[in-house]
Amino acid sequence: MGAEAAIADPDRVSTLMPAVDGVALVYILLGSARGEPDALRVLHGSRLEMLLVRLIDTAVRGVVYEAGGSVPADVLQAGARHVRGACARSRVPFVLLDAPPEAYNAWVASAVGAAEGLLGGLQ
């Protein structure tokens, strides 16, 4: 499919931007991120908002947000609200990936289905 993983520092949004050059679909897979509770809230809050705003000026035409995982549910729900709002404002389609990551096969099927659905909508 031409997919490539990019490893960057989600606390420094500028480190993520070179990875989205020419990319149509972005997966934000931080549902099982580890760290202090306040840091996780910022990561799925203001950092996520900043990333979503910066994606508007790129070729990205779809976002998949991992809304399931070991991060506290209220933090993931807040992140999902940010994704819904930002994507609605910018008219960028999105999928909330809520399959539990520990159910590997179901998670992979959901992740692939998200790509197929979003990329199919771009045609």
Task: Determine the pLDDT at residue 28.
Answer: 94
Whether the pLDDT of residue 38 is over 90: the answer is yes
Domains contained in the chain, CATH given: 13-97 (3.40.50.720)
Whether the pLDDT of residue 88 is over 90: the answer is yes
The pairs formed by 29-37 with CB atoms below 8 angstroms and a separation of 24 or more are: 29/66, 29/97, 30/66, 30/69, 30/71, 30/79, 31/66, 31/67, 31/68, 31/69, 31/70, 31/71, 31/76, 31/97, 31/101, 32/66, 32/69, 32/70, 32/71, 32/101, 33/69, 33/71, 34/70, 37/72
Eight-state DSSP code of residue 56: T
In this prediction, residues 68-79 reach a mean pLDDT of: 97
| Confidence band, pLDDT 50/70/90 cuts, at residue 52 | very high
Which pTM does this prediction carry? 0.91
Token pair 């020419």 is found at 22
